[in-house]
Structure 1
């Protein structure tokens, strides 16, 4: 199989593991010491998490860990944690006060399927669940690894990462923004969690090659957001499973709007080349991650 085929196979396999783990976790049955879990809240959380999705972030955690010699049993908790944080961000981003979207992954968004208050609480609960998942389920885990994972997730999701990037995105929606500012927003809003996924895999594997995987995650995170902005211009809503053309309609500044479609495609190719250079020392063992970098740049949804 070529890199793309290897990636597709690995993504499907990892996604199945993650979804089974999240399905078991998102239950109305309380864990030890918990009060009862409200059925409506659990249903909203399940709608947000188990309603499709590529599972790219948890895939990156598990695949980077495997490349560096980590155990799947140790990686699956942090992988599920990244997916919970990602899904929480989508629930809140879709709210009327934010992006005001009615469609996500081809289905009604959580505030449409339930209501706004339930959507807010579902997002809150998914974010806090992530930290439980990140540090539990691995009997061989040590305190240092747990501390590193919690710090990594908190910083990636917080005011210096994803939440801060979302704030800057809102502030600059109708303001003049240069390419450097837009790139910084991308690195925080979208890139922070993808970068954290790659770093988390390195932490799980004993803190091996963390700086290299930090940069790899940084590159593919920037590529992911640039590809997303490109798809907003070139794809249709049915293919994407969400509304498209919203950036232009809202007067939102993007690198695609600033530099054009051809520039964006050339930049994506450059990101992929750098990602492949970072993986070169691992040879054929990194074929799946090479395929992932190309998929992120070339994806159609």
Structure 2
């Protein structure tokens, strides 16, 4: 031990340096500004400098959108490793790690509640759970959300965020696309609205199925929305694509979306849209 350290340890009036594991700052991925975590969360995970909309999980979304007192629907149980898949890790190990990191059972969680007193069943995909990938669990949760909306005669609203189908489940993950389509038809047969809010990113088989089948298509600003990646498309067609062609604003200009809504205004806009579309009880 050096002389200076011995002297410092012997002096009682020098306070010991305390460390904290609490994260106080968030670095915006768009503008690289450092923002206090508290300020970031109070602003609904939107950068106060550049207006970048950060990715958020189901519980944060439920609390932002739904009235107080909402109820989480139980996660449907499915066979978790139907193909006994293994790459660099066993598939069950990947699921276990995702559950530990997010606290969710799978990539799609449903809640029943209300938005400004308008009843709704709300589904939220979590990109942090294996890239929000669509597997049997997500398909079962989507059908659960639709059936619950039909049972309670209210709209089904889903916030999508996904990298596509879950490769570890092979063809079984792709089967969720027609299953979701049939569920949406059941919702329409019950004369109930199906509203989609596309968040960053929504790609692959999710875009090719239930993410683009809404009665109303809404997106958050600058959300990445597409099927294949830009480089894959450019290499296939051998042409340079327009700047930002897979961003929400471009899709709105070309008729694939009905509106792009800032996160701060989403709750009010959803309440307004549902009020227009929800059947009213006879007086």
Shared fold per TM-score greater than 0.5:
no
Q: Which has the larger radius of gyration?
A: 2
TM-score scaled by structure 1?
0.31
Structure with bigger helix share is 1
